Amino acid sequence: MDYFPLFIDLKNKNCLVVGAGEVAARKIELLAKAGAIITVVAPEISNNVTQLAANNPKLEIIQKDFSPEDIAQQRLIISATNQATINALVAETADTHNIPVNVVDNPGLCSFIVPAIIDRSPVIAAVSSGGTSPVLARLLRAKLESLIPPAFGRMAQLAEKYRALVKEKINPPAQRRIFWEKILQGSIAELFYSGKEAEAEARLKDAILNSPDKLDNTGEVYLVGAGPGDPDLLTFRALRLMQQADVVVYDRLVSDGILELVRRDAEKIYVGKQRDNHSLAQESINELLARLAKSGKRVVRLKGGDPFIFGRGGEEIETLVEQNINFQVVPGITAASGCATYAGIPLTHRDHAQSCTFITGHLKDNTVNLNWQQLAVPRQTIVIYMGLVGLEIICKSMIQYGAAADLPIALIQQGTTHNQRVITGTLSTLPDKLKNQSIHAPTLFIIGTVVSLHNTLKWFQADSTPEEY
């Protein structure tokens, strides 16, 4: 171990920063967050440092060159200048007086290094590469940021509030550890993270006073939007819940890459639907979620796109509400937004569309019942989910009700994934163009003059066959 990891209390302690450029400003901000009394010594002061001083009464600027006398009474020193001789003098002086010193980007002159920080105060995590690769440390920090909820610090404060009571009521220490593990990884913590802090605290107190050895193991359901396909588009909350779920109930539109991020030992239950081929009826899915939660499982209901946009998420949580089962809903990037963005087709644009309408193109009785007069109005964008089978009817109906026959339309197949394919045409030409094509779900259609921007704005390079126009 090259460095001993140590957290130091700097509240109202004197700290010196030598230098006042942009790098120094970042260090000053960190020291200020720790509550330090900061002295900045530098012959030239950047605007950022001047602004920091204006907003912080604990920050004093002394505009002059550094001299060894400046280190008097300092608890910690940071040198952030671009002058090697000054940095060396600061390090030598600090070492002589046994004061911890950090010289930015020069590990050889440092007695301590500043790690990449994950701040969930009072919980603090730090990542260091020993000064060898600060970029690598920041990348590791970014991974940890995705796993630690923003409310983690407040949860720690709640635990501190009841720590003495738990110690009084639960013995021996091993049982206290098990109790806290169940609290901090279970339904009470998830209530807290989802904003139900008062209810979480009430249940925690009840568990301590009445049944610490029989902690409520009631399960819960997380209705999670998996987005349009690219795993990078998952939210932090979605990823965290996927990695702690006991069971994952997933749809056909959830990509393999996203399923790879689920906890390895979680049970996976497929409930996907295809046209006229449902592996499980919707009512059965609703009851399955409730039954799993009642058995004590943490259940992720993983749905492509967003669960509240043509995802029947509302129907599923209605059943959970009726049966008094805890749940969370985690939004995902809906296919309209994700696929349009990856295809370089803005859904709104000042010169093309001032509104956007999402519709489902499902056939019912061999027709599509929609408000055609409204959809045929110009200067808007129409996004069609599940419209492949009914496309010909949709295009003919729009032309019949006044839309221009040459109005641009795009098919986006497997959008945001490496298999993405974009085929463009017009209302009058695209249905015939697709008849000899091998099209694979999921698909999405975008209608409107915004489609004409695709050639100019496309940026995502897929691995599949070239786009067709």
Task: List the catalytic residues.
Answer: 251, 273
Q: Is 96 exposed, middle or buried (0-12, 13-18, 19+ CB in 10 A)?
A: exposed
Cβ 327 vs Cβ 220: under 8 Å? yes
Task: List, in order, residues 6 or more apart from 47 with CB less than 8 Å away.
Answer: none
What own/partner pairs with CB < 8 Å and gap ≥ 24 does 57-66 have? 58/12, 58/32, 59/28, 59/32, 61/20, 65/41, 66/18, 66/41, 66/42, 66/90
φ/ψ (deg, to 5) at 33: -65, -30
Q: Are strands 381-385 and 277-278 parallel, antiparallel or unpaired?
A: unpaired
DSSP string, 80-117: --S-HHHHHHHHHHHHHTT--EEETT-GGG-SS-PPEE
Separation between Cα atoms, residue 260 and residue 426, nearest integer Å: 38
Cβ 155 vs Cβ 189: under 8 Å? yes
List residues bridging with 384 in a β-sheet.
359, 445
Residue with structure tokens 């089962």? 325
Q: Are strands 356-360 and 381-385 parallel, antiparallel or unpaired?
A: parallel
Residue with structure tokens 């980007």? 105
Cβ 413 vs Cβ 440: under 8 Å? yes
Half-sphere exposure (Cβ direction) of 86: Cα atoms closer than 13 Å: 18
Q: Are strands 76-79 and 14-18 parallel, antiparallel or unpaired?
A: parallel
Task: List, in order, residues 6 or more apart from 32 with CB less than 8 Å away.
Answer: 38, 52, 56, 58, 59
φ/ψ (deg, to 5) at 413: -105, 130
Separation between Cα atoms, residue 186 and residue 297, nearest integer Å: 10
DSSP string, 229-278: S-GGGS-HHHHHHHTT-SEEEE-TTS-HHHHTTS-TT-EEEE--EETTEE
